[in-house]
Amino acid sequence: MKSLLTLIILLISPWALADESSQATKRIIFLGDSITSGYGLDKSAAYPSLLENLAKADGFSWSCLNAGLSGDTSAGGTRRAPILLRQPVDILFIALGGNDGLRGIQPEVTAKNLTTIIKQAKEKQPNMLIVLAGMQMPDNMGDDYTAAFREIYPQVAEAEKVHLIPFLLDGVAMEKELNLPDGIHPNAKGHEIIAQQVYQQLKTLTQGN
């Protein structure tokens, strides 16, 4: 736990100082796993960094912290979120659960963990915008499990009154030309598509705020 705390502090410290002079800067934390971290790519090619660039091109000042951790699960997110949220944050983007599904963790456990993360965020920073990005499992996990897993995200989002992006990898998953050879992690082109889609959603949500 101590090493995890040290890692997170090192991650957020430069970010916290970078924009302290700009009151207009929106600070966004992307709490995710290897997809968010940009597995197999430089972090600058991962969708959080690309999204920040898109915002800048449109004249917005967004500071996007990539808190993606390869192999992380929803349970891991419950431990990391309180530390990450020690700094002022405008938007928390939660993109966890994919590894839960690949490990066959029961959907109700994942739902409980995601709910915990959201409640932690609301308690620490009540005015923060929270966005939950959904994931889906391949059919080889079994019809019942796949269906139950898919329902986690809309159910949690509705219960906790947070914004839902139904499927983070919409238009990217299962597309060979948009993924690394492992067929799981998006390549640079895949991240570009994710960034565009997420950016449009966040831009709409933040208009006037």
**Residue 208, pLDDT score:** 57
Is 16 among the domain residues? no
Q: Which CATH number fits the domain that encloses residue 37?
A: 3.40.50.1110
Between CA 25 and CA 32 the distance in angstroms is: 22
pLDDT at 20 over 50: no
pLDDT, averaged across the chain: 92
pLDDT higher than threshold 60 for residue 83: yes
| Residue 17 counted as domain residue | no
Quickly tell me which residue has 């009540």 as its tokens.
Answer: 126
Number of domains present in the structure of the chain: 1
| Residue 7 located in a structural domain | no
Residue 19 is predicted with a pLDDT of 47
| pLDDT value, residue 174 | 95
Q: Which residue has the higher pLDDT, 78 or 207?
A: 78
CA atoms within 13 A on the CB side of 53: 12
Contacts of 103 (CB under 8 A, 6+ apart): 73
Residue 93: left if φ>0, alpha if ψ -120 to 50, beta else—which one?
beta
Q: Please give the positions annotated as active site.
A: 34, 182, 185
